Amino acid sequence: MSSNLSYHFAIALVRLGKRAGTLGALAKDLDSVVRMLAAERRAKLLLVHPRVPFAEKKKFLEAICETEPVVRLVLMLVEIKNLDLLETINSQFAAMVAKELGIVEATVETASPLSGEDTKKLQAAISGLTGATVELEARTDPALLAGVRIRIGDTVFDNTLKTELEIVRERLAPS
């Protein structure tokens, strides 16, 4: 039920952002509010405490938010006593915005750090494969030994020595 509600809030925010041309600003603002509320317990307490006047809560949010729709969303969640939905709304909204803007997130794992040039080449190759702008996160895992593992959404391309050795080990193991 709550994920369904968060989905509808995210859709509404996407529609507002598309109409106003502010999808990126809304995404940035919503994410910063979610991060701030997670890090600052006092801020969340201020918003949920029943004795803090609504006007004070609104003033606080307007001071930290750049976009009015995010202020209204947070205040609405406070009023319906469901502020915990904000994190889920943020995740769903971020995914919807990325899709709208043609952005794909990819993670690349290698045994040793990639050079800046190699990272750019890999990013360009993934962009060519997906036809989208790629936000690339590079990670290092020495256990991979050599090669590369790429994750794009739920798809994994694994060309690491570790995986190859595991496949050989399975094939050589007695049945």
Q: Where in the chain is the domain with CATH 3.40.30?
A: 103-172
What is the C-alpha separation between 151 and 106, in angstroms, rounded? 5
Query: In angstroms, what is the C-alpha Rg of the chain?
Result: 22
Task: Give the architecture (CATH level 2) of 103-172.
Answer: 3-Layer(aba) Sandwich (3.40)
What is the C-alpha separation between 155 and 157, in angstroms, rounded? 7
Q: Which residues 6+ apart lie within 8 Å of 134 measured at CB?
A: 103, 104, 105, 106, 123, 126, 127
Using a cut of 0.75, tell me whether the model's pTM lies above it.
no
| 3 has a pLDDT exceeding 70 | no
CB-CB neighbours of 90 under 10 Å: 23
Q: Where in the chain is the domain with CATH 1.10.520?
A: 2-100
pLDDT of residue 74: 94
Confidence at 70, pLDDT banded by 50, 70, 90: very high
Report yes or no: 144 and 162 within 8 Å, Cβ to Cβ: yes
- CATH, domain 2-100, list 2.30.29, 3.40.50, 1.10.520, 3.10.20: 1.10.520
